[in-house]
């Protein structure tokens, strides 16, 4: 269990695809001035080294498989030991398995780092609508949204004028599958953190603009720390 006497320094962020988790992590990073640690980003970075380890990671990630617990635990362990994490950090995409959850809790407890878990909740129909409205420009990488950020001319990229496309994994059937798999994968982790007695909050990720939602999460941490 996290030690209530220690100020919360680790934020463990969960949220389904399309919940705006990445956006929240960045906003919270700016607000609390603590680094955002995304294991997905770290692994993609590591994949760029074309050595044996980079290749092993690439094969797993490209297959949609998880990288081994041992490797990810070690990577996170090293990362959170760095100087810029001294005041705190945000974990995004980690832990992803019960074994990772056990490892991080043990590591944080050993270092007297208290943690707080936030599950960003967004109605799945809202997510499906959000993702189905996304339009990508394959030419320059710009992303639009028919509801929140429409292109000036329908179907055409504002930036470079090329046609916009729907990404295969944003199509409704695929999104439903991704959400189901998120649920199956994440439920045991959320149960683990609740049972373990962690400070655990479900935060509505869709009832306000992203900066307001981030503010609420920052407030949760500050309130827990009695600030
Ligand atoms: P997504 O949310 O689409 O899965 P991420 O950027 O979080 O994207 O992760 C990309 C890939 O990196 C995952 O599919 C998985 O192969 C690997 N990965 C990321 N985090 C972990 C983790 N904690 N444990 C194992 N593999 C991970």
Q: Which of 47, 56, 64, 93 to mutate to test the pocket of ligand 1 (most atoms within 8 A of CB)?
A: 93
What pLDDT does 227 receive? 78
Name the catalytic one among 9, 46, 130, 134. Answer: 134
To the nearest 10 degrees (0 to 180), the angle between helices 98-110 and 172-196 is 40
- pTM for this entry: 0.88
Atom 19 of ligand 1, nearest CA residue = 40
Mean pLDDT over all residues of the chain? 92
Instruction: Assess whether pLDDT exceeds 50 at residue 2.
Output: no
Q: Which atom of ligand 1 is nearest to the CA of 57?
A: 16
Higher pLDDT, 224 or 11: 11
Contact 17, 179 (CB under 8 A): yes
What is the DSSP secondary structure assignment for residue 163, as one 8-state letter? Answer: B
Contact 127, 17 (CB under 8 A): yes
Instruction: Assess whether pLDDT exceeds 70 at residue 1.
Output: no
What pLDDT does 50 receive? 82
Q: How far is the centre of ligand 1, averaged over its atoms, from the C-alpha of 67 (Å)?
A: 8
What integer is the mean pLDDT of 17-36? Answer: 94
| Whole-number Å distance between alpha carbons of 203 and 216 | 8
Name the catalytic one among 21, 46, 130, 135. Answer: 21
What pLDDT does 67 receive? 94
Tell me the per-residue pLDDT of 145-190, one tens digit each, with 9 for 90 and over.
998 899 999 999 999 999 999 988 888 888 999 899 999 999 999 9
Q: How confident is the model at residue 3 (pLDDT cuts 50, 70, 90)?
A: very low
Q: Establish whether 177 is a catalytic residue.
A: no
What pLDDT does 189 receive? 96
Name the catalytic one among 33, 167, 177, 185. Answer: 167
Q: What percentage of the chain has pLDDT greater than the value 70?
A: 98
Which range scores top for mean pLDDT: 25-34, 62-71, 195-204? 25-34
What pLDDT does 5 receive? 64
Atom 23 of ligand 1, nearest CA residue = 94
Q: How far is the centre of ligand 1, averaged over its atoms, from the C-alpha of 152 (Å)?
A: 34
* H-state helical runs in 33-150: 39-47, 52-62, 69-80, 98-110, 124-132
Q: Which atom of ligand 1 is nearest to the CA of 60?
A: 16
Higher pLDDT, 69 or 148: 69
Query: Hey, CA dihedral for 128, 40, 9, 74, is it positive or negative?
Result: positive
């Amino acid at each position: 269990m996290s030690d209530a006497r220690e100020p919360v320094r680790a934020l463990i962020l969960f949220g389904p695809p399309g919940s705006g988790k990445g956006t929240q992590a960045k906003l919270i990073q700016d607000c609390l001035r603590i680094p955002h640690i995304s294991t997905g980003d770290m692994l993609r970075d590591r994949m760029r080294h074309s050595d044996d380890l980079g290749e092993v990671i690439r094969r797993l990630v490209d297959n949609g498989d998880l990288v081994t617990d041992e490797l990810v635990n070690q990577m996170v362990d090293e990362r959170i030991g760095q100087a810029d994490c001294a005041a705190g950090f945000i974990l995004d995409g980690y832990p992803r398995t019960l074994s990772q959850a056990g490892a991080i809790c043990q590591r944080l407890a050993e270092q007297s780092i208290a943690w707080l878990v936030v599950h960003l909740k967004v109605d799945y129909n809202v997510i499906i609508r959000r993702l189905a409205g996304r339009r990508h420009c394959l030419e320059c990488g710009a992303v639009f949204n028919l509801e929140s950020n429409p292109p000036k001319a329908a179907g055409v990229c504002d930036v470079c004028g090329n046609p916009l496309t729907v990404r295969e994994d944003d199509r409704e059937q695929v999104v439903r599958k991704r959400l189901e798999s998120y649920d199956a994968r994440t439920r045991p982790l959320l149960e683990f953190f609740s049972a373990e007695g962690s400070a655990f909050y479900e935060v509505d990720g869709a009832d306000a603009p992203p900066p307001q939602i981030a503010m609420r999460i920052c407030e949760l941490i500050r309130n827990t720390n009695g600030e």
